[in-house]
Amino acid sequence: MQSFAVFVATCLAVAAANPIAKGIYDGCGTTTTCWGVNADSGSGCVDTQDCSLIVAWSLDGEAYNFELQATNPENGWVGFGLSRDTSMGDDSVVICNSESGNADLYWNVAESDEVKYPLPVGDNTGLTTGSVTNDNGIYCSFTRDSSLTFLTPVDPAEEVTFDLASEAFYILLSTGPIIDGELNQHNAVGISDDLVQF
């Protein structure tokens, strides 16, 4: 069983306070697995249905269906990352952009003076956007192949594979603004305490 700090729970009621929060909690603990954080209280937000960042997922054949949600009301982005450690860098990230309406694959470069933000991979093979909406927060759904192999957008490019079926990962969640069409640094982040087996 996963022992990360945030509970996977069976949700009995639908949150009414935030319109975008209604659907994402519905299957938690039954048809989907959910993980999230609350910027004020930390863990336990899946039970109380008040996560500021949440991801829900389910296996569908050879792919996983994901839903992401950030309750910040500004136009911006929400991201879901897979990491082999609890630090930013060398991570596979899906960023949902509320302005473009797309979910795209990114490579999270270790922070340096030159590169502070994820770089687009440029090839979204294995990733299909369901929807990205911005109504009192950001909601995104997408389907990701169980195993994705791609070239990192750094020099020199390196081929990497992230296989959800055979390897456990730390979950990274983040959200931030979009200014003048550009992704800006996250203003909220959550990292699972333990590796998660999907």
104-160 pLDDT tens trace = 998 888 765 444 567 778 788 899 988 899 887 899 999 999 999 988 888 778 899
- The answer to whether residue 6 is domain-embedded is no
Residue 31: per-residue pLDDT:
96
Residue 49: per-residue pLDDT:
92
Is 80 exceeded by the pLDDT of residue 55?
yes
Share of the chain above pLDDT 90, in %: 54
pTM above 0.85, yes or no: no
- The answer to whether residue 2 is domain-embedded is no
- The answer to whether residue 10 is domain-embedded is no
How many domains does the chain divide into? Answer: 1
Residue 19: per-residue pLDDT:
43
- The answer to whether residue 8 is domain-embedded is no
Closest CA to 52 of 62, 41, 63, 60: 41
More confident residue, 164 or 110: 164
Is 70 exceeded by the pLDDT of residue 21?
no
Residue 24: per-residue pLDDT:
94
Residue 36: per-residue pLDDT:
96
- The answer to whether residue 171 is domain-embedded is yes
Mean pLDDT of 28-44: 89
Domain containing residue 65: CATH number? 2.60.40.1210
Residue 22: per-residue pLDDT:
56
Structural domain of residue 39, as residue ranges? 19-191
- The answer to whether residue 14 is domain-embedded is no
More confident residue, 192 or 73: 192
Mean pLDDT of 54-63: 96
- The answer to whether residue 73 is domain-embedded is yes
- The answer to whether residue 1 is domain-embedded is no
